[in-house]
Amino acid sequence: MLQHPSVREAAAAHGRGFVTTLVKECIAQTREALQAEGGAERMPSGIDEIAQQVATRIEDLLAPSIRPVLNLTGTVLHTNLGRAPLPPEALRAMERAAGAVNLEIELETGRRGDRDTHVEEWLRRLTGAEAATVVNNNAAAVLLTLNSLALRKEVPLSRGELVEIGGAFRMPDIMARAGCRLVEVGTTNRTHPRDYRDAIRSRTALLMKVHPSNYEIRGFRAAVEARELAEISREHDLPFVHDLGSGTLCDLRAFGLPHEPTVAEAVRDGADVVTFSGDKLLGGPQCGVIVGRAALVARIKRNPMKRAMRADKLTLAALGAILPLYRDPKRVAERLPALRLLARRREDIEAQARRLRPLLAGALAGAAEVSVVPCRSQVGSGALPVQGLESAALSLRPERSRDLRRLAGAFRALPRPVLGRIADGALLLDLRCLDDDHDLLGQLDHLEIGRSASRRLPPPVRS
């Protein structure tokens, strides 16, 4: 095999050891396939066929695994799709930071510096907090804060705020892993100030409020507002920690969105420490931000666990480029893709859908009926879970409902995979996040539907 011209060429280009391993893998695979099929019925693979497999394998391995997709799911900050899209300012900053940088060095004195200084000034300005530090994500921010301020101590938390954010982030588990004891107070639907007061003992470390993020309790409910909790904390000389989840830095009402408490409001309402995500409504890179009183932030930063959770230079560079975009709240939606997409008006999206409908219908050539339907987008990442945002979608409805999954598969198989959502027997492409029509139109030629003579969908792939 190693004498085969194409394999020899590959070995010269990519290294002999790497290619030899692939040759062995492909031979083993061929052998297995032949045995499975009862060998004799099928001609043994020729050497050329195996060489071709090797070439394909090399191509696959060298192709980037993380690829851009079109998020037409209707969930703007989709965790599985990488949450907030970053603006060019952030990309340039990350590129600048790729080599050696002044990450932890004071250029004036030559002394050891602190990586948080690159974002702290802007975080202070935008939140009104005294100090700030950045970790890998908000889950880490909460874990580190609790471990730093409440290790082996008690933390009362309302039963209405024992949230599961998704994946493995469940408040009771995080508390346990942070080494503190959760003291449940109140009930699922109603918690009162006296519940907290009754729970406070000598072993209480702090009071905490967790933004319920991804659900809402309606009806007969009562919660203790942040301002009141801050007051109770002060009465007992305890820090008050507010996990905001999706921390926003500006008033979303300016973009026609429902109000979501901002970090500045949480600070003003008396939180001593506020934790929030960088890649939710803030619209930045994945990170968790901790802001608050200088003495408490300093304690958090001294925790050896901080070292295991600290943000890297690329993240800090991106965050450092994004925070200044908030200097003029009136223009932030123009500058920050996440907010721009969230602020898009239904009328614009619907006009876009009408524009695209006939083109998509043409590409599908009768394989599915295409119509424009109203829908609701989700902010995603647990923010504003109930309201949804009025939007418009292209509804792709195949004649036979069993073709639906294959239709969705054909869109996922495009050079830039298109992800929609399936609802009521149709594939919905919510156009809220389609910035440029050509991103979709440009690849319709590659759609493997309706091109065959029978205008039928491709047969299902057998596993």
For the bound state, the minimum distance from the C-beta of residue 463 to ligand PLP, rounded and expressed in Å, comes to 33
Residue with the closest Cβ to ligand PLP?
245
How far apart CA 389 and CA 355 sit, in angstroms, is 21
For the bound state, the minimum distance from the C-beta of residue 382 to ligand PLP, rounded and expressed in Å, comes to 4
Nearest CA to 210 among 159, 269, 260, 281? 159
* Residue 265, beta-bridge partner list: none
The residue (of 158 and 352) whose beta carbon lies closer to ligand PLP is 158
How far apart CA 237 and CA 10 sit, in angstroms, is 69
For the bound state, the minimum distance from the C-beta of residue 381 to ligand PLP, rounded and expressed in Å, comes to 6
**Per the structure block, which two tokens stand in for 312?**
């890297």
The residue (of 156 and 288) whose beta carbon lies closer to ligand PLP is 288
Measured in whole angstroms, the distance separating CA 394 from the mean position of its chain's CA atoms is: 24
| 62 burial type by CB count under 10 A (0-12 exposed, 13-18 middle, 19+ buried) | exposed
For the bound state, the minimum distance from the C-beta of residue 247 to ligand PLP, rounded and expressed in Å, comes to 9
Chain positions contacting ligand PLP, by CB under 6 A? 137-139, 142, 165, 169, 210-211, 213, 243, 245-246, 277, 288, 381-382
How far apart CA 227 and CA 249 sit, in angstroms, is 19
How far apart CA 347 and CA 352 sit, in angstroms, is 9
**What are the φ and ψ backbone dihedral angles of 31, each rounded to 5 degrees?**
-60, -45
List, in order, residues 6 or more apart from 280 with CB less than 8 Å away: 77, 83, 84, 138, 245, 246, 247, 380, 381, 382, 383
Which phi-psi region, left, alpha or beta, contains residue 144 (left: φ > 0; alpha: ψ -120 to 50)? alpha
Measured in whole angstroms, the distance separating CA 282 from the mean position of its chain's CA atoms is: 12
The residue (of 280 and 313) whose beta carbon lies closer to ligand PLP is 280
H or E stretch at 20: helix 16-36
The residue (of 135 and 394) whose beta carbon lies closer to ligand PLP is 135
For the bound state, the minimum distance from the C-beta of residue 375 to ligand PLP, rounded and expressed in Å, comes to 24
The residue (of 76 and 165) whose beta carbon lies closer to ligand PLP is 165
How far apart CA 460 and CA 404 sit, in angstroms, is 11
For the bound state, the minimum distance from the C-beta of residue 103 to ligand PLP, rounded and expressed in Å, comes to 22
The residue (of 138 and 391) whose beta carbon lies closer to ligand PLP is 138
Q: Where are the beta strands (DSSP E) in 383-447?
A: 389-398, 418-419, 421-423, 426-430
The residue (of 233 and 315) whose beta carbon lies closer to ligand PLP is 315
For the bound state, the minimum distance from the C-beta of residue 173 to ligand PLP, rounded and expressed in Å, comes to 12
List, in order, residues 6 or more apart from 67 with CB less than 8 Å away: 416, 417
For the bound state, the minimum distance from the C-beta of residue 238 to ligand PLP, rounded and expressed in Å, comes to 20
Buried b (16+ CB within 10 A) or exposed e, 408-436: bebbeebeeebbbbeeeebbbbbbbbbee
For the bound state, the minimum distance from the C-beta of residue 127 to ligand PLP, rounded and expressed in Å, comes to 17
The residue (of 212 and 398) whose beta carbon lies closer to ligand PLP is 212
For the bound state, the minimum distance from the C-beta of residue 448 to ligand PLP, rounded and expressed in Å, comes to 36
* Residue 132, beta-bridge partner list: 291
